[in-house]
Amino acid sequence: MKFRCERDVIVEALGIAGRAVSGRGGMPGLSGVRAELVGDQLTLTGSDLDLTISINVTVVGQGDGVIVIPARLATEIVRALQPGAVSFVAEEESLSISSGRGEFSIRLISGDEFPKLAELGADTVKLPSDQLTRALKQVVLAASTDDSRPILTGVLLAAEAGGLRLVSTDSFRLAMRDVAGISVLDEGQSVLIPSRALGELNRVLGQGDTVELQLGERDASFSVGDVRLTTRLIEGDFPNYRGLIPDSHPNVLTLNRADFTEALRRVKLLARESTPIRLEMTSESVELVAITQDVGTARESLEGDYAGSDLTIAFNPDFLLDGIEVTPGEQVTLSTIDEQRPAIVRTVGDEVTDGEGTSSKDFLYLIMPVRVS
């Protein structure tokens, strides 16, 4: 088995497939990238059992075959070579990598130790990449990274009237995005996809105009361009997110999104050691305040419109900033009830901005306040 490919092309392909490679010990096959050559088509695949990423690359090939390459070492070697064509020759248990005057020989991993890849049904649904990119950017960030609560590490995809709904929560915040005109699931159907897989998908969505989605009983597969990503679905019941969203908010603060973002970033400099940021809101003024014991205080006035009762409410500054940054539009609203119940960030009105086509009804970001003395 031999093949030749430009260095930058193979480095990028190894990097994409390698993002699914496991760092866990005890299973050598999971530390490798499976390379299958058929004619001039090379397919590189990495997997950690939960997530599998494959990419097709056109090479100059000779002798079809399948090998498993140590992912990290091979990538480091190829990246270190000078620009130009790189040759790969597999013989028995070793792989020769050469370019110019440099030549390396590394031991291969036994193919028997690489996991068997999932097989999905033939039914495929096509989605526009640009819409999915924007939706994932808005919801993936609110999913939990705590594996002790696996249900919260996923993003719920649910059929809604006229489209698809994406929801995520880590119990401190919740993001919900509706995408109109996309029919992926049957009425009443939903699936829970690991947020890690969707984060990796978002990295490669720019490689094609459409995404092909295949759903199996336990797996989901996304294909875009030359890349295919397959992930196990999360089993279990997602929280009743509808019950978390208040029906009404008596207090509404309207701000310029860019000004709010910049002010948050400045005041956040003094919010050390998990210190929350306070929003002090009255009919006469709105101020952001951060007070960190033995460090200092930051205070900044905001230009905005506030309707409601005088209220001081505090938030995790990172969570609040995340929500403001992914909410589209020039103007945003922060709607509150009191200092203990959840607040909602939305786009003002039915505004559509930057060609994104997202209105105030399409995206909602809920954030829980932090109690302060």
Task: Give the model confidence (pLDDT) of 304-332 as tens digits.
Answer: 999 999 999 999 999 999 999 999 999 99
State pLDDT tens for residues 276-300: 999 999 988 999 999 988 889 999 9
Task: Specify the residue for token string 């960190």.
Answer: 292
Say yes or no: do domains 125-242 and 245-367 share a fold.
yes
Mean pLDDT of 202-216: 88
Per-chain mean pLDDT for the chain:
90
Confidence tier at 25 by pLDDT (50, 70, 90): low
Cβ atoms within 10 A of the Cβ of 44, count? 23
State pLDDT tens for residues 103-133: 999 999 988 888 887 776 667 888 888 989 9
Contact by Cβ (8 Å): 49, 22: yes
CATH (residue range 245-367): 3.10.150.10
Structure confidence at residue 41 (pLDDT): 97
Mean pLDDT of 216-226: 91
- Could you tell me the residue ranges of all domains in the chain? 2-113, 125-242, 245-367
Cβ atoms within 10 A of the Cβ of 287, count? 16
pTM: 0.89
CATH (residue range 2-113): 3.10.150.10
Mean pLDDT of 269-275: 87
Mean pLDDT of 173-196: 89
Confidence tier at 353 by pLDDT (50, 70, 90): very low
125-242 belongs to which CATH class?
alpha beta
